[in-house]
Structure 1
Amino acid sequence: MNGRYKSNYSTYVSQYPTIFRETSPGSKNFGVTRATAPNNIVFSSACPDSEKITLGEKDGLNPATSTILGRTVCNYDQDRFDEAQGWGKDISVLSHGELKLGQNIVGFADLSYNRNDREYTAAPLTIGTTSSTSFTANGVGTPFQLILPVGHPDNPFASDRASASYRFTNLRAGSASMTEGYRALAGLRGNHFGWDWESALLWNRSNRDDYYYGRLVLATLNTIMTQNRSLASVAADPNLGHDVLSKNTSQISQWDLKVSREFGQLSGGAIGIAAGVEVRRETTDLNPDPMVANGEIYGLANTILHSGRTVKSVFAETRLPVLKNLEFDIAGRVDKYPDLKSNFVPKVGAKWTISDSIAVRGTYAEGFRAPSLSQIVPGGAQYFLRNVWDPKRCGPDHQTPAPGGGTVTDCAINIAGTGGFNPDLKPEESKTWNIGLILSPTSNFDVTLDYFHIKRTNEIVLGTANEALKNEDRFPGNVTRSTTGLLVDAAGKPIPGTGQLQMVATPWENQGMTEEGGVDIEAQYRLRLGEYGTVRNTLRSTYVQTYKIQQFPGDPMNNVAGTIPGLSDWLLSAGTAMPRWKSSFTSNWSRGDHNVTASVNYVGPVSLLRRYDGDTKYAQPFCHFGTRKPTDAAPDRDTSNPLYETFYPKCSVKEWVTFGLGYTYTGFKNWTLTGNIQNLFDTKAPYDPNYTAGGFNEDLHNPYGRYFNVSARYTF
């Protein structure tokens, strides 16, 4: 869409096939250009006149390059299946009970159950002209590509093979999920010999069933070619569609014992101590539909995992009130995971109350996180990668084939992706420290300022296809290429390792290091209005001063705060958008049974400028999106949005300010009535060109616009 018109056009892929001629005999290439399109694309005219549309510039098509401009097509309205939120139903039950078993012992138990059902609409499935990967449980299956031989009932070309774009509109589409959670807890607590103690058994289980409707069975789909059947007859075959069901479970069984007491005396009071032990059994079972696992379904991949482990932990903490205005907290924890050495993490905190209005506090802590089961045991996820740019076989402009045998297909190729387990993963470790100042100049005004610094090493992240291709020569095992059809140099000699892309592996990996530093600010002001009630104002704000990522050990580190790391530093493939400022302000007025809250939320801008490429700092940063300029420090600017800088000259995702208003009434006995309005002024999420589907960053913003919530609660 060019943004100037509202188009009535959705897509020409419908139950009326569009046929494409093979570019050359045996090539399996059905691509077209503006020049070849009139002779190489045949649009069906079998649809009703009410569904026909002649495509013009008003339909958002580029007249210079469009292969279908000026053609009359059967318009299929797939936009009617779009939804902001799918249908859902939730059930939740919770119970708690306690029973005194003696003078010093109390038994307790919790039981809970919750179920969430969701359904999502989608347009019926399609097939197209390019080859599509299929998966089995153990790897890649036989790919499917629709090729209509000469003489096929749907092939209008007398002497050339063809392919087609086709939609199976008679099949149910969409997906659904059902998630169930069970939780049971039973334990005892009491006091003996001066110790408070508590011990409990916990069982927690989660079940998830995922349904995908109207998926295509490859055996039936292939009869289009093996039996020369028409697309319409295969579409009507009752054996074509299969509703896929995957069943997944995870479970935790745990026993723990905790004890605490006070003893001794320091100048500031009694010493407090607490300790505990914990034994936990984790299991995960992910089961794809058998037909998907056997590679019998078109366009679906597998997620498979069957494993379990036992984790043992010991922890202790003590509070030391050394002086009346000085206290320390010291804690430590030891965790033992299978095949990992025991790990000890300490924590030390202190607070010094200088006066009634000034206090200083600080904390140093270390952290440890073992890889999850899904990250280290055999299994994992398979997926499809579409329109992948191959940097070896396509130029840096993402459009021009590389010399020596590259094709336009290499600039937007569909390949397989495999991610998942990495048995060599190391645990994540972290070191955190902060120092803060607490100010209370008056009884109505408090301010806290905390400077924080976080350093994470061996951070576990999921690899990306972009990273694998960018670092192919550095880590060649993550990219699989054909051993034939290599590019050739100027002398006609084949260049090793330049065959067409087939698969990219994106396993979990240990990232080198991440450092983040900044300031947390919180201020509260209370205003008492006598008979008119009380007003409480609260400001919470975080400023990120430093955000550095070292993707691999030894790589340089640049400050990418306020940016998208993978754009600001082209060396990186990791990291999420990090605005420098996030703030919220709330003002609450209460009087008797009435309570009114007004709020303002602020998310700062995010720069899309390219500044670094590892050790190289660009003398003149340039925007990653828009039209290429001679001054660009690198040739690979994204030109898919050529007018981006025209409309966004600052080259950034704009700040987002939203307002909210809420009211609560408690004047009816046992009742609490509440109404809220979020995003009061219906402020749209700022545009982010990195997200082509929704146009906004889901991690920072949302698409809801103004929305209301009304609730009533009755307390027995």
Structure 2
Amino acid sequence: MKSLRRHRLTTAVHVSLLLSALPVVAFAQDATTDTTTGQQARTLDTVTVTGTRIRRAEVEGQVPVQVLTREDIDRSGFTSVADIVQNLTASGSALNTKFNSSGNFGFPPDGGGVGAGAATVDLRNLGSKRVLVLVDGIRWVNESSASGVGSSVDLNTIPLSIIERIEVLEDGASAIYGSDAIGGVVNIITRRSIDGFALNLHYGEYDEGDGATYGADFGWGGRTDRADWFLGASYYKQDDISAADRDISQFPVPGTGLSNGSSATPYGRFVFQDPNTGQVYSITPNTGATDPTYTSGEPDCPATRSDDFHCFTTDDRFNFAPYNFLLTPSERKSVFGQVHYDFTPAVTGYLKVLYNQRHSVNQAAPEPIFLGTDAGVYNHWAETDLVIAANNPYNPFGFDLTTVGPNANLFLLGRRPVEGGPRVYEQDVDTWYVNGGLQGSFGSEHVYDWDVNFVHSESSADQTNYGSYNLKRINEALGDVNACLAIAGCVPLNLFGGPGTITPEMLAWIQPVVHDQSENKLTSFSANITGDLFTMPAGPASFAAGFEYRKYEGSYTPDPITVAGEYNGVPSGATSGSYDVNEAYAEFNIPLTRDSAFGKAFDVSLAGRYSDYSTFGGEFTGKAGFRWQIADELLVRGSFAEGFRAPSIGELYGTFSRFDATLQDPCSGAGATLPNCVADGVPAGYEQPNPQISVVTAGNRDLQPETSHSYMLGAVWSPTWGTNSSWSEKFDFGVTYYHHTIQDAIQAPDAQTILNRCVATLDAEACSHYTRNANGAINSFNDILDNLGTINTDGWDVDLGWTVPSQSWGQLRVDWRNTFVGKYDLTNEVGAKEPRSVGIETNDSAIPEWTSTLATQWHKSNWGVTWTMRHISSLTESCAGADGFPICDVSSTANTPSLNHLGSVTYHDLQVTWDTALFKGLQLIGGVNNLGDKDPPVCLSCSLNGYDASTYDLPGRFWYVRANLKF
């Protein structure tokens, strides 16, 4: 007879009906008959849940674990892992396919690249790199973005079809799992087997008739006396939505017209000094004017002109927004299989293999070409070595325009070659995962479970960029015409004639196809053992212990023209590095009392892990918790945990890269006369030439780990008057308080904060980050990673679950999940608070004070209906240079900046299911997300598309249909 301990959940699985605050109760049982009483008794099997490595029959623990079952996943209406976990109330802002990343966000300072086409998860607003993602308890490889070495897991590499359930631990767990588990753990449990075949088909689109999502999943599984297996394949495709197809995304900043448009236009903007007269001009061709007779009294432009140019004004700016994607297209194909085989009654072997392929696309407006001393693009071909020769046949001014030496007279040339088409970034990402191992048990009086496993996984990405330019070749094509013609293939370039004047021959010389590559690898070996040490008066003392070895390898290889410094886009250097870690851990659960004056039960748990990294040495983390079952209906629990996060490969070894930040220079316009601006070298009349200021960042090999402390205290109440009564089959209420403190957080200081601090105080450290040229423009901004600042956050999870007994009209179930963020403070290296805080929208992310999900489920016979309400509380943001526009609802004063109010949003989702009798095993599902057609609030500071894509749904209703067939 097989050992009962090797069968998980053989008769029943119970998952607590409470949500994020409620612990998970899972048990397995085999029924046997007592020969004396004739009644059946249950023998509890042992299982392991996220948050502990101890296998035991009763796993209601010291930490909150939220379990999303397969039924929960299907009821959500979402078709990706990321969409599901990003809609948890404890989730913060994270990357998803609503971000049109490439070409717009540049390179983030962690060296991870823009993550184009990827999707991540953030818990407790601590960042995706502080969340550990596991698959069946084993670490998953970090993403490859093709533009850096990522430090987060791309959830798009894990197909939804292979998932049995998702367990989310909302507590620090470094002592249990090691690095990265500061904000929490997402453990994805795969389908081990099914009986027969399963086919799932789905289709959905927005009510505008776009953004179609469709796919198919196929599964086959079975079992014999000694083996069980599962094989699945899935296909998923998501079509794009253009930013031009929604009102909110048609302009760079909704409600402000062209004020935040680009000064790089299809007609061109030219800021230069005439060497013959000393006059400075800021002009554009009349053909590009809204009103060709418009005159201006700007200090760098004469009031009137008699030639073919006029003074550049806001009306001449370029609206780049309609060229962007509001929803990025993505196509994913995957195959997954696993098999378990009992070699003996006490030893089982297993093998799991996954291959996932993703093709995704991002698109941005035609790439601007910025030349001149004020261009701020960190490229000598554009800023210090350029000469637009007087003999260039397209130079209309009759003299050299140059950035060279003391005679430099070209300050800014902004031209957007629409002839070259939009920037298109195509990513092809391949992910491999192989996991094999043995598991078993031994012992008689005390039975011990053990396992050993080996994992190797790789994620590699290739990104192809169409629509960019080679600055060296632009330089050659603008220079002396005879020198250009002496170079094979060089064609003189016309940047002055307006749209249509850059010919295909000119484009062939200056427009390359750019290829970038990146790769992440993870190799891991671990061995674990768990069981009961000895029996105490209150029960057995149990433990888990083990060893783990991991090796991380990563690289990013940009295109040769990028390495050579010729790329017109975001410059970056190659990155390559690796490190390994050896770890040992031990965990104990000690029952102190049972059925005493102190209540039903009181247990304590202790855990510790020592990690030895090849990059910085050793680190120890510990954790302690308690579980106090005061009565059958009341449980109190708490924990204290130390945590750490090792610096990633990108953070350690990332080389030169640039992040194009949207910043407001306090010294622009009227601010130029401020005493500190004058002292900073800003001349009177200075106007910020471009809202984007390039910030250079890089990794730091001297980085040390981030460290953290986490506290959790919660209670679960299941009153007897709400159990098995006429009005309530079960009623549960839970509340959890959490607190996280992270010290030595790895980050680059916020660029806007640095700029504001320098201007306000002339603080030497802040002012050392950037320099200005003679015209006042910021021409360098350095922001290198370091162990800076502290993060403090706390809040509450409050949850309720209620099941109404079955009636003639059916059965009703209500689940209400709430997260209230009480505090989120991020202080920088000098102890000053950074802008990010509760109720504030900043840097394309938000921390709402209250997020809530209320799900009401009704079912009767073969029918089921689910109505879900998702609520996000209101936010505020700086008007980000949009002062004076009606959208700013708080007027600016000397002490009160102008603010934009982002109202609260509640989404309504509806789903209907029918287990049809037309065909055995067929289930039909239809639903609508955002049934009320609620638009996201307008965001002025967001980089793209007029709203925060990490917090809100896309504008419009999304309807879908599904068919699930088992046979």
TM range (shorter): 0.7 to 0.9
Match of residue 157 from structure 2: none
2:718 matches 1:467: no
In structure 1, distance between residues paired with 2:737 and 2:620? 25
Match of residue 348 from structure 1: 624
Cα gap change, 1:398 to 1:537, in 2 (>3 Å): farther
In structure 2, distance between residues paired with 1:359 and 1:79? 53
Cα gap change, 1:12 to 1:449, in 2 (>3 Å): closer
Match of residue 633 from structure 1: 895
Match of residue 404 from structure 2: none
2:800 matches 1:523: yes
Give matches, 1:439-518, under 5 Å: 439-441=717-719, 442-443=722-723, 444-471=730-757, 473-475=763-765, 479-481=769-771, 485=774, 501-518=778-795
In structure 1, distance between residues paired with 2:279 and 2:568? 20
Is the 2:572–2:655 contact (alpha carbons within 8 Å) kept by the matching residues of 1?
no
Match of residue 546 from structure 1: 823
Match for 1:358 among 610, 614, 634? 634
Match of residue 49 from structure 1: none
Cα gap change, 1:368 to 1:80, in 2 (>3 Å): closer
Is the 1:461–1:508 contact (alpha carbons within 8 Å) kept by the matching residues of 2?
yes
Range 239-248 or range 148-157, more displaced:
148-157
2:953 matches 1:702: yes
SS of alignment partner, residue 951 of structure 2: coil
Is the 2:342–2:348 contact (alpha carbons within 8 Å) kept by the matching residues of 1?
yes
Give matches, 1:60-79, under 5 Å: none
CA offset digits 1:580-608 (Å, max 9, x no partner)? 21111110112232221101111111244
Is the 1:399–1:411 contact (alpha carbons within 8 Å) kept by the matching residues of 2?
no
Match of residue 185 from structure 1: 435
Shift in Å, 1:627: 4.8
CA offset digits 1:57-113 (Å, max 9, x no partner)? 9xxxxxxx9956899x9x999665333223321101101012222332211101100
Shift in Å, 1:703: 2.5
Shift in Å, 1:30: 6.5
CA offset digits 1:536-592 (Å, max 9, x no partner)? 101111122233333226x267998643398xxxxxxx9963222111111011223
Cα gap change, 1:70 to 1:515, in 2 (>3 Å): closer
Range 89-98 or range 398-407, more displaced:
398-407
Shift in Å, 1:672: 3.3
Cα gap change, 1:29 to 1:91, in 2 (>3 Å): farther
Cα gap change, 1:290 to 1:440, in 2 (>3 Å): same
In structure 2, distance between residues paired with 1:276 and 1:252? 19
Give TM-score, length-normalised by structure 2: 0.60
2:866 matches 1:601: no
> What amino acid is aligned across from residue 222 of structure 1 in structure 2?
N
Shift in Å, 1:510: 2.3
> What amino acid is aligned across from residue 563 of structure 2 in structure 1?
A
Shift in Å, 1:28: 11
> What amino acid is aligned across from residue 771 of structure 2 in structure 1?
R
CA offset digits 1:649-695 (Å, max 9, x no partner)? xx532111111111223334233332231111111111232226322
Match of residue 227 from structure 1: 480
> What amino acid is aligned across from residue 374 of structure 1 in structure 2?
G
Give matches, 1:567-606, under 5 Å: 577-606=846-875
Match of residue 685 from structure 1: 936
Structure 2, unaligned runs of 5 or more: 1-250, 295-302, 304-309, 402-409, 482-491, 495-500, 595-600, 724-729, 880-886
Cα gap change, 1:27 to 1:362, in 2 (>3 Å): farther
Shift in Å, 1:293: 0.6
Range 461-470 or range 114-123, more displaced:
461-470
Shift in Å, 1:305: 1.2
2:908 matches 1:659: yes
Range 395-404 or range 194-203, more displaced:
395-404
Is the 1:358–1:439 contact (alpha carbons within 8 Å) kept by the matching residues of 2?
yes
2:571 matches 1:318: no
Shift in Å, 1:409: 5.0
Is the 2:430–2:461 contact (alpha carbons within 8 Å) kept by the matching residues of 1?
yes
2:373 matches 1:105: no
Is the 1:546–1:559 contact (alpha carbons within 8 Å) kept by the matching residues of 2?
no
> What amino acid is aligned across from residue 286 of structure 2 in structure 1?
F
> What amino acid is aligned across from residue 513 of structure 2 in structure 1?
D
> What amino acid is aligned across from residue 861 of structure 2 in structure 1?
G
In structure 1, distance between residues paired with 2:857 and 2:333? 32
Is the 1:55–1:70 contact (alpha carbons within 8 Å) kept by the matching residues of 2?
no
Identity value in percent: 19
In structure 2, distance between residues paired with 1:4 and 1:364? 48
Is the 1:562–1:605 contact (alpha carbons within 8 Å) kept by the matching residues of 2?
no
Match of residue 432 from structure 1: 710
Is the 1:562–1:607 contact (alpha carbons within 8 Å) kept by the matching residues of 2?
no
Match of residue 271 from structure 1: 541
CA offset digits 1:299-335 (Å, max 9, x no partner)? 3311521100111111121222222322222222111
In structure 1, distance between residues paired with 2:350 and 2:278? 68
Match of residue 556 from structure 2: 286
Give matches, 1:300-319, under 5 Å: 300-319=570-589
In structure 1, distance between residues paired with 2:709 and 2:746? 15
SS of alignment partner, residue 952 of structure 2: coil
SS of alignment partner, residue 342 of structure 1: strand
Structure 1, unaligned runs of 5 or more: 33-39, 46-51, 58-64, 487-498, 567-573, 611-622, 639-643, 645-650
Is the 1:220–1:240 contact (alpha carbons within 8 Å) kept by the matching residues of 2?
yes
Match of residue 213 from structure 1: 466
> What amino acid is aligned across from residue 607 of structure 2 in structure 1?
A
In structure 2, distance between residues paired with 1:219 and 1:524? 64
Is the 1:374–1:380 contact (alpha carbons within 8 Å) kept by the matching residues of 2?
no
> What amino acid is aligned across from residue 538 of structure 1 in structure 2?
D
SS of alignment partner, residue 220 of structure 1: helix
Cα gap change, 1:226 to 1:27, in 2 (>3 Å): farther
2:412 matches 1:143: no
Give TM-score, length-normalised by structure 1: 0.79
> What amino acid is aligned across from residue 592 of structure 2 in structure 1?
V
Q: Which has the higher contact order (CA 8 A, sep 6+)?
A: 2
In structure 2, distance between residues paired with 1:207 and 1:390? 42
In structure 1, distance between residues paired with 2:521 and 2:450? 26
Match of residue 61 from structure 1: none
In structure 1, distance between residues paired with 2:943 and 2:889? 13
SS of alignment partner, residue 420 of structure 2: coil
In structure 1, distance between residues paired with 2:279 and 2:574? 34
In structure 1, distance between residues paired with 2:945 and 2:673? 25
Match for 2:528 among 258, 280, 284? 258
In structure 1, distance between residues paired with 2:665 and 2:624? 49
In structure 2, distance between residues paired with 1:198 and 1:688? 51
SS of alignment partner, residue 684 of structure 1: coil
CA RMSD, 1 decimal:
4.0
Is the 2:591–2:604 contact (alpha carbons within 8 Å) kept by the matching residues of 1?
yes
Is the 2:376–2:779 contact (alpha carbons within 8 Å) kept by the matching residues of 1?
no
In structure 2, distance between residues paired with 1:216 and 1:3? 30
Give matches, 1:274-423, under 5 Å: 274-324=544-594, 325-377=601-653, 379=655, 381-384=657-660, 389=665, 391=667, 395=671, 402=678, 406=683, 408-409=685-686, 411-412=688-689, 416-423=694-701
In structure 2, distance between residues paired with 1:251 and 1:409? 49
In structure 1, distance between residues paired with 2:367 and 2:781? 25
Is the 1:56–1:70 contact (alpha carbons within 8 Å) kept by the matching residues of 2?
no
Cα gap change, 1:230 to 1:4, in 2 (>3 Å): closer
Cα gap change, 1:123 to 1:595, in 2 (>3 Å): same
2:431 matches 1:153: no
In structure 2, distance between residues paired with 1:398 and 1:182? 57
